[in-house]
Amino acid sequence: MTDLRALRSDFPILDREINGHPLIYLDSAATTQKPDSVLDAMDEYYRLYNANVHRGAHTLATEATELYEGSRSKVARFIGAEPDQLVFTRGTTTAINYIAYGWGLNHLKEGDKILVTIMEHHANLVPWQLISRYTGAELVYLELNDDLTVDTSTLDQVLTDDVAIVAFSGMSNVTGALGPIDVLAEAARSVGAISVLDGAQLVPHTPVDVADLGVDFLAFSAHKMLGPTGIGALWGKPERLEEMEPTEGGGEMINTVERNESTWAPVPHKFEAGTPPIAEAIGFGAAVDYLDAVGMDTIAAHEREITAYTLDRLSEIPDLTIYGPRDVTLRGSAVSFELGDVHPHDIATILDQDGIAVRAGHHCARPLMKYLKIPATARASFYLYNVPEEVDALVESLYKARKLFGLT
Ligand code: 7TS
């Protein structure tokens, strides 16, 4: 197995004990832990370079601006993009809302359709529902195959000329299923629709190059890829970003302001109103430096191996149901499961007693839960710092839970 355990010492939180046990952190799909280099970069900014960006002519302001814009270049390069195609946002959710309000509001009309999949996170559903209210557009859904990958065989029926937006996830945060990116990007192009890729669970886990994706927009969050909370990115094709209106107005995003009207700064600044999250942007830059140094191919290989091992080990446990593809080429490293009729929250509580952090709940994907006819799942999710012994501990703890709940 690709052994990245030497990296664990870069993550100070992994030294913690929880309920008398070493922390076993299996909740990286919710948010990842942060290495020293990210924490230090943010600390250093506040200690040495703290100033607002894009304004003052003084030395600190220039240095802070260089760090902030330097991070934009690093994050852009990480996905094969140019810096002026990369907008800093609060995260994936904000990025998708910017597209919905900034592009959708000006382009959608009554009767238009927004094609999504049933496995979307609420972040890629609710903004479209909101925008439908204003425009009279309507959501249409692709459903799932038996292995819980997206069923594209019904595309012919739903892909009509009035589809204006195709919005889909690169990887489900519940089932781990990878999205059919090529098929849906091509489907969007074929009817003149724009494509929006929710990359929250994709960009952290696999090499991504926007030139290969074929989509119009990509959204992702720093905190799911070793960076801080409060920052993420929206990448868009230059012509799409030009077509998009700013969702927020204020300082920084203008060119001229008169009493009754204003003109906008060039992309990407027209989308970054007000003082941006400067320290967070710098932390985001340090996070992609860290990922680059390890290598995204190495990280992807490691996750595939630990996911395969997890699926194998979980399959041994009687009464345990895994929700998601078994084939590791069709999935990422978020593994959802149920144990008999024990409520997933009870599972998570028992695991926590052994120091194991998993998430239980609907994972902000209620339409998917309804489709699967379950209220919730427990979910173990992995990243570069996880090791197979942690999977063994999870399995041992699940056997304990079986006993405790009288499953024999
Ligand atoms: N899209 C997907 C696929 C996600 O998994 C998440 C967050 C989001 C969008 C929203 O990202 P945010 O950074 O703007 O909040 N997913 C999860 C999760 O699975 N558990 O906690 C947050």
**CATH number for the 39-292 domain, one of 3.40.50.300, 3.40.47.10, 3.40.640.10, 3.40.190.10?**
3.40.640.10
> Ligand 1 test: best mutation among 89, 96, 121, 363, most atoms within 8 Å of CB?
121
As a CATH number, domain 5-27+295-404 is 3.90.1150.10
Question: Which tens digit of pLDDT belongs to each residue from 250-300?
Answer: 999 999 999 999 999 999 999 999 999 999 999 999 999 999 999 999 999
Q: How far is the CA of 172 from the centre of ligand 1 (A)?
A: 9
Q: What is the pTM of this model?
A: 0.98
Active site residue 364: yes
Tens of pLDDT, residues 195-234: 999 999 999 999 999 999 999 999 999 999 999 999 999 9
Q: What is the Cα–Cα distance from 22 to 64, expressed in whole angstroms?
A: 38
Of ligand 1's listed atoms, the one at least distance from the Cα of 381 is 19
Q: Which of 364, 380, 393, 398 is catalytic?
A: 364
pLDDT at 56 over 80: no
| Domain edges within the chain | 5-27+295-404, 39-292
* Whether the domain at 5-27+295-404 and the domain at 39-292 fall into the same CATH topology: no
Confidence at residue 255, expressed as pLDDT on a 0 to 100 scale: 97
Q: Is 198 in the pocket of ligand 1 (CB under 6 A)?
A: yes
Q: pLDDT tens digit string along 140-172?
A: 999 999 999 999 999 999 999 999 999 999 999
